[in-house]
Each structure stands twice: as structure tokens, then as C-alpha cells.
Chain A
Amino acid sequence: QKEVEQNSGPLSVPEGAIASLNCTYSDRVSQSFFWYRQYSGKSPELIMSIYSNGDKEDGRFTAQLNKASQYVSLLIRDSQPSDSATYLCAVNAGDLSGGSNYKLTFGKGTLLTVNP
């Protein structure tokens, strides 16, 4: 059973601070990694994807991937109250695990609250 674990939260940060969200995964051959944001009662929306080791920046968001340690993180700089949501980590196993397996496995999510 492939596992994706996220820090349970809830995570509360003041407005303007950096929010750090972490995710670990069990399948060493996982190929691609995604962060989704989900507002209460809504469906998830993709905010970041990362495929290779290192950092990937998009505006106030930075995704970090370390395949050797099997973790991926999301940093949100200058956090805003509108960033308050549940953040879901998702992992795509890819085509090295004995066959094509491109379905996404999701973590349980971390609830982030940004306080004004």
C-alpha cells in the first residue's frame, strides 16, 4: 500500500509569515508530485507540481523535493488570509514500479489558517 503522509495540523500562522507544509511518501519510485489547495466545501485545485530534486518557485509558492529522503514540501511566503485552506499532497507513482501506474495517491491534507 503506497502511503502519503502529511503533518496533521492544523497549522496556524500570522499574516505575512511563511507557512511550511510537509509531505512524505513511501514509494521510492514515485515520479511526480503535486500540491492541491482545497477550500472548505470545494474541490481541490492544483497550485504546484514538481518532478525533479530541488526547488520550484511560482509567485509566493515554493515546492521543494528531496527524492533521497522521500519528502516534498510547500512554502507559502507572505501568507494571506485567503491562503486559509486545506493543502493536499499528491504523488504519482509513474512507470518504474513494475508497470504503468499513473493514478494519484493523496495525503490526508493539512489545514492552514492564516490569522489577520
Chain B
Amino acid sequence: DGGITQSPKYLFRKEGQNVTLSCEQNLNHDAMYWYRQDPGQGLRLIYYSQIVNDFQKGDIAEGYSVSREKKESFPLTVTSAQKNPTAFYLCASSIWSRNTEAFFGQGTRLTVV
């Protein structure tokens, strides 16, 4: 089945620790995105990538890093510089075009313990 796979579904991080969230897609989409969602809030864009080996900061990139070495993969690292990392993280992908929607993975819920 074609789709977007995020792992793990739940992740616990100790303060001061870096963690990496995985996102893989087999939809052959050019663009991939990372969003953060806090309770009662909409989606805020962290980073996005239009093409392999290129990515741009979104609205809340501080404390996060990404890489795009393969078309299928767009991992997100939450660094210790992110002071409030507890949130629901959503990865999405799309065709990089005017009239196309984004498709989402099932999300990773990150909690700082």
C-alpha cells in the first residue's frame, strides 16, 4: 500500500537529549513537510523540502533539524535546544504543484520526561 509511515508512534525524551523522528513515503512525492501540533492548536510548519538535498525553514524551525538525502525519507531531529518539545508531530508529503493536497502520516507523540 502507498502511504506515509512515521515511527515511532510514541516517544519519550529526557531533557537535554536529542531524538530523531522517522518519516518515510512511497508515494513518489517530491515534497515533504514536518508540522507540530499542540493541544487545541492548528498545524505549525517546522521544515519542508521540495526536492532531495534541499529544505527550507518553516515558521518554527528553531531547535529542530532535518535532512533529505533520499526522496523517500525526511527525518526530523528534535534537539536539546528546543525548550518545549512535547507535542504531536506530523509528517506529510505532496506533489510540489499548485492544486495538490498533502497526505499525512499517523503522527508521533513526543513527551519530555
Contacts and interface: CB of A to CB of B under 8 A. Distances in A.
B28 to A, nearest CB: 16
Interface in B72-95: 90, 92, 94
Interface in A66-111: 88, 90, 92, 94-95, 100, 102-109
B106 A49 contact: no
Interface of B: 31, 33, 35, 40-45, 48, 58-59, 90, 92, 94, 96-107
Most B CB contacts (10 A, CB to CB) among A6, A51, A109 go to: A109
Given A44-B90, A103-B45, A95 B102 contact: no
A32 B90 contact: no
A94 B98 contact: yes
Contacts, number: 61
A94 B44 CA distance: 19
Contact of B43 (A6, A44, A46): A44
Interface of A: 1, 6, 31-32, 34, 42-46, 49, 51, 88, 90, 92, 94-95, 100, 102-109
Contact of A102 (B59, B97, B104): B97
Given A42-B106, A103-B31, A88 B99 contact: no
Given A49-B101, A102-B97, A108 B48 contact: no
B98 A102 contact: yes
A88 B43 contact: yes
A43 B98 contact: no
A105 to B, nearest CB: 8
